[in-house]
Amino acid sequence: MAFFTDQPQPAAPPQIAARASRIGATAAVLKYAPRRLRPDNGESAAAQAQASAAYWRERAFKAETRLRALETRVQHLARRTLEDTMAKDTFNLDTSISLPDLDDRIAIIRDNLRQLTEQAAAFSGAADEERAAERIAAQQEELDKLIAQRDALKK
């Protein structure tokens, strides 16, 4: 502090005196500088690392929670679709449709399924995924019915 005052300072122990002479007036001036300009000590770096680790732990926890919620939704939707499929009469045969017409319908539905799958891969979000899964399940159910009907006509 001799830099700022003219009063003599008490004598410091030799270790502190040697350190102070190495630091010089810069340390005395920098203690009044903004924190971002001061030299960092190990404690502040450790505190920053701990804060950063806590932040990333919190983000990982939130992401895992969201993924679990999405997984539960997908399982619920799959279960509901399976129950709906089992409840419906899958062998509702319409014998008035010819075999070439059935083949055309099957080709159209397969193309629809391909397009729906591409759309589902392009979209993100729980609502989009649920809607796409419902549409794919409905198209797959229709395809299964038509294939069963075609097989019955071939016999």
Residue 37 has pLDDT above 70, yes or no: no
Digit-coded pLDDT (tens) for 18-33: 555 555 566 666 677 7
Helical axes 126-154 vs 42-87, angle rounded to 10° = 30
- Long-range contacts at 124-129 (CB < 8 A, ≥ 24 apart): 126/69, 126/70, 126/73, 129/70, 129/73, 129/74
The token pair that represents 70 in the structure block: 């999405």
Give mean pLDDT, residues 56-67. Answer: 92
Residue 7 has pLDDT above 80, yes or no: no
- What ranges make up the beta strands (E) of 7-154? none
